[in-house]
Structure 1
């Protein structure tokens, strides 16, 4: 899943998890617990969320593997591999769900199973657009209202639904900073429905002008751009970057900030993939191809790590 959507989901998943799984999956639980750090780090990839569901009867605790996806593509082998690993590691029943966030009515490739001559693995695929947007506006959690932008509008005009969602966000937000963060998230997700230009127009017309200092784009220009920052929200050193915290001066500060931020993100992703491949290779239980499909890396990358591990072992 595209990094920008994955980031938004990670920001809102914790406060919205309970109403989300109740609406989409008809699951009820006492509480959701984080998985052990090592399991989380090794198994989670973009779009993935792992939780242990605590039920009233402790003997019935379960692992929920919830994956969000925007593309219509085959996930059967990945889901099978992850089910096997989670079952071995946790020794608990594993519930698997893929929540499709895209706009397709019929999914050609994202099928809820993997099947060959010897295996028949099933999981559940849920289209968020099959659920009424009103369900997400019935909660008192502002982050939950954000999901409404991707739901079924029930014949309502998009502009009317957008206004309804924005009014709910305004009602539930505790301050302008929080409101601005929610509006930014809505703006990003609205692009999945090709509604971003309309959303921006309506939010501006309704005076949803959020605090720029909470915006990630502003922070990138402020924290990194030429190391000169924004003074009192009025100008970036040498009057380049963001002027008066609103307009972009020659875009120099932000562009440089974004470049550095992206470089850091790539370095972090490389380390995560390297650690993940290393751990899976050391177990000796997985083929190179299984690692490729599970972690989403290339076969050349796996071979490179395997070669480096062999060199280290030879030195010992």
Structure 2
């Protein structure tokens, strides 16, 4: 899955903003690490290195083991990932003189295709990779933290349809968030992450009925809330499922051309 630089920066921004809130749950429920002590470590492992670790902490678990924990969030397959992780491993072990535990959390919708090990004459190395698409979305849905709830959209919906899963996620966000401004922020993050699963169109249709009052009227469908919902849905379906011109859709739906243009603008996927 190829991502534009703008998209990648949006995903990075979300995880940077939310990481401290979600890291305890990720460690416990995804990585299987029960911590009793956790200490932030500086991420300047090497000043000349272009990329820094996404998460770097000194951890003592419930068994008394102390180690350096590194977590990387990866949206797409990177052919050089195993070498990057090996570089991190050597630098971290050299600097901290502690055992190193490394995890790559793959956020893509397909199975990761990256190699996780090196085996040559003088070097054997491997790291753990976990695909979000294989995790039960209830792990995050049942959280009391909205930062975790939005991660549900990246997990496995199992027997749920995308529509039902998204409705549950939206409801849970409303239940766990205090204040309209915060809720608006998490809805925006949810829409961005939904792009990784190609669910943004479904989400926008659900938004029209359930959370339109919270959405930025310049970018989303909230400004359509005063319009007849049946007309909005009808025009939306024609725009998504046909090649009709705006003028023809306006005629079929018995609405103005300007109305069709507004709906079209609301459902256009951000590039």
Normalised TM-score (structure 1)? 0.62
In structure 2, the partner of 1:138 is 142
CA-to-aligned-CA distance 1:156-201 (integer Å, 9 cap, x gap): 1101000000000000001111111111100000000001121122
Query: CA 1:43 to 1:86, structure 2 compared with 1: closer, same or farther past 3 Å?
Result: farther
In structure 2, the partner of 1:258 is none
In structure 1, the partner of 2:185 is 181
Matches within 5 A, 1:192-271: 192-210=196-214, 212=216
In structure 2, the partner of 1:11 is 17
Q: RMSD over aligned Cα, in angstroms?
A: 2.4
CA-to-aligned-CA distance 1:14-42 (integer Å, 9 cap, x gap): 10111112221111102422113644977
CA distance in 1, matches of 2:161, 2:52: 32
CA distance in 1, matches of 2:48, 2:41: 11
Unaligned ranges ≥5, structure 1: 216-246, 248-316
Query: CA 1:37 to 1:118, structure 2 compared with 1: closer, same or farther past 3 Å?
Result: closer
2:45/2:52 contact within 8 Å kept: no
- Greater shift in the superposed pair: 155-164 or 20-29: 20-29
Task: Establish whether residue 20 from structure 1 lines up as the match of residue 20 from structure 2.
Answer: no
- Which of 166, 169, 174 is matched with 1:162 structurally? 166
Aligned residues: 212
In structure 1, the partner of 2:237 is none
Q: CA deviation at 1:10?
A: 0.9
Task: Establish whether residue 66 from structure 1 lines up as the match of residue 71 from structure 2.
Answer: yes
In structure 2, the partner of 1:294 is none
CA distance in 2, matches of 1:193, 1:76: 25
Matches within 5 A, 1:31-70: 31-36=37-42, 38-39=44-45, 45=51, 48-55=54-61, 60-70=65-75
Q: CA deviation at 1:115?
A: 2.5
CA distance in 1, matches of 2:166, 2:37: 32
Normalised TM-score (structure 2)? 0.72
1:6/1:47 contact within 8 Å kept: no
CA distance in 2, matches of 1:68, 1:29: 20
Q: CA deviation at 1:208?
A: 4.2
Structure 2 SS opposite 1:65 = strand
In structure 1, the partner of 2:119 is 115
Query: CA 1:193 to 1:57, structure 2 compared with 1: closer, same or farther past 3 Å?
Result: closer
1:80/1:121 contact within 8 Å kept: yes
CA distance in 1, matches of 2:47, 2:129: 24
In structure 2, the partner of 1:128 is 132
Q: CA deviation at 1:123?
A: 0.5
Q: CA deviation at 1:120?
A: 1.2
CA distance in 2, matches of 1:132, 1:56: 25
Q: Which structure features the higher share of helix residues?
A: 1
